[in-house]
Amino acid sequence: MKYLQLLADNKLFSAAVCGWAAAQIIKTLIDLMLNKKLSLERLVGSGGMPSAHSATVCALSTAAGMIYGLDSPIFAVSAIIAIIVMYDARGVRRETGTQAEVLNKIMHYFSSEHPEKITFDQEKLKEFIGHTPLQVTVGGLLGITVAVIFCLFL
């Protein structure tokens, strides 16, 4: 129990978790508005608007800068990690989702429309993995905002 209290008292950890939670809740609400049904998977799922990955690492980095200073090693490390995570979310992970979409179309064609039907052991691949540049940017701005509010008022 002592360890949970230590985590709760850690402003960097708490700011990052709040950034993640805010993004996931907003993502779920946007999905609810667009699809007119509640998908609880969106509360923990990846992909979508805003990027929870970006919100998390930007909240962490912003809190580190505000608490320890922009010249601190902890800010430097967290900022570099934020850049890498955001680049990956927009680049590699988005490309993976695009490839999954193409593979799903191929699997559907060969399993239902093609004269020589093929059975695939693999279920439909997850296509909602990465983020657009806008989703990454909005997630980053959300994380920064959450951290500023968290550090100034909590």
SS3 assignment for 32-90: HHHHCCCCHHHHCCCCCCCCHHHHHHHHHHHHHHHHHCCCCHHHHHHHHHHHHHHHHHH
Q: What is the pLDDT of residues 26-51, one digit of tens each?
A: 999 999 999 999 988 888 888 889 99
- Exposure of 42 by Cβ count < 10 A (0-12 exposed, 13-18 middle, 19+ buried)? buried
DSSP state of 111: I
The pTM of the full predicted model, rounded to 2 decimals, is 0.82
Q: How many residues does the chain have?
A: 154
Q: What is the pLDDT of residues 46-104, one digit of tens each?
A: 888 999 999 999 999 999 999 999 999 999 999 999 999 999 887 776 677 777 778 87
